[in-house]
Structure 1
Amino acid sequence: MLIGKLFEETPTLHLITSIVDLLIVWFVFYQLINVIKGTKAIQLIKGIFFIIIGRAVSNFLELTTTTQIFDLVLQWGFLAVIVIFQPELRRALEQLGRGKIFKKSTTNREDELEKYREEMITAVKYMAKRRIGALIVFERETGLKDYIETGTPMNADLTAGLLINVFVPNTPLHDGAMIVRDDKIVTAGSYLPLSDSNKIGKELGTRHRAAVGISEVTDAFTIVISEETGDVSTTIDSRLRKNISIEELDEELKKYWIMTSVKKDGGGLFARK
């Protein structure tokens, strides 16, 4: 009854424009989230929300000095956001200019990634058997842009032959980390942060410390092949699994790489590539 009365008192044109206004705001926020998703910017957005909530609470409790500090942070925060999010904002404008805001859904995406998983397994088997040391990092939700920039750009399709050739001893890129984003080798020879954890055995070298290190600061999934033993290890969420079988690696690739990539691609009108 109350809703019906509200519609009667509200002019039809005003109601339509209000709905359109809300849809536009929703669309802008949705696209903003899509642009920054998978980068460290999403963590900064969470921080901004905490600041806004903190300001509201301090104002409610009449904490004058604290409220003024929050106001100062928010006052200069807009400029800081533009500077910090500059790469993401540029990418959004480029997508808008190329007409890629609306993206087509990707069919058979999981089948495509399964093919690349088989290539990865083939390469790992080959390198483990011959004790070719390797460090392969899979980007998941958290962007690895900072670490990608330290390596040599490749932007190549993921194939077993290319994987093996990168890590062949005495080649320029074999000592660094390879970073994989979805089905592309983004870079090779990248530098990763080393873990200081005392839980890592002294018999393990720099590759293992780098693998644990990247898993401590991001949600990346990493494969390590030991140069001394040929053992295959993986890391995720600060956890190191040593000397796993190819079957166990296959399951982890499905869980931490394939499923994450499919989820990121989404589907439907706004599917991400």
Structure 2
Amino acid sequence: MEDKLVLFHLFGFVPVSVISLIDILMVAFVLERLFTLIKGTRAAQMLVGLLILVTVAMAAPWLKMNALAWLLEQMRSILLILLVILFQPELRRMLVGLGQNPVFRWFYKSEPSRVIDEVVNGAAQLSGVGYGALIVLTRQAPLDAVVESGVPL
């Protein structure tokens, strides 16, 4: 089965199949989206710092810096948690963007009447306790840019 999907052999001996091409294109797309997402943000600076730290961690044993190598080896166990904490805003923005993709809209088709009922109930509750509200309803255009540039009151 695998032999039938091979398109050609790279360098004469590395088989390249349709699946491997799709795999490479998907990884390239994810990396491109990730770099586009963090370009010009603090996350880009943190990523550079993280790459420097990884480079030092790889060079420390080679340069016989045993204490530094041990310390960086101990930090490796918490690296995943550290990455999630450091890049939390970017990960969140990426997941929101993925959820707003039209391909995935069929997962959460909302009922307009249910949304209207919830807004009316919320306004009634706010009115009951004497609070006002600025309510913004969006359809296809997200308000992320407006919200991020706004000033909290």
What TM-score do you get using the length of structure 1 for normalisation? Answer: 0.33
Correspondence 1:187 to 2:141: no
Take 1:45 and 1:61, find their aligned partners in 2: how far apart are those partners? 24
1:52 match:
54
1:74 match:
76
Give the deviation of 1:37 after TM superposition: 2.3
Which is richer in strand?
A: 1
Matched positions, count: 105
The residue matched to 1:11 in structure 2 has which SS? strand
1:10 to 8, 14, 23: 14
1:64 to 66, 77, 82: 66
2:90 match:
88
Give the deviation of 1:26 after TM superposition: 2.0
Tell me the alpha carbon deviations over residues 158-215 of structure 1, each in whole angstroms, 9 at most, x when there is no partner. Answer: xxxxxxxxxxxxxxxxxxxxxxxx999923489xxxxxxxxxxxxxxxxxxxxxxxxx
Task: Tell me the amino acid that sits aligned with residue 101 of structure 2.
Answer: G
The answer to whether the 8 Å contact 2:10/2:16 transfers is: no
Give the deviation of 1:98 after TM superposition: 0.9
Identical aligned pairs, as a percentage? 27
Which is richer in helix?
A: 2
For 1:95-244, what aligned pairs fall within 5 Å after superposition? Answer: 95-99=97-101, 186-188=149-151
Give the deviation of 1:17 after TM superposition: 3.2
- 5+ long unaligned stretches in structure 2: 1-7, 104-144
Tell me the alpha carbon deviations over residues 65-102 of structure 1, each in whole angstroms, 9 at most, x when there is no partner. Answer: 2111112223212201112222211111111111179x
Take 1:97 and 1:66, find their aligned partners in 2: how far apart are those partners? 42
Higher relative contact order (CA 8 A, sep 6+): 1
- 5+ long unaligned stretches in structure 1: 102-181, 191-273
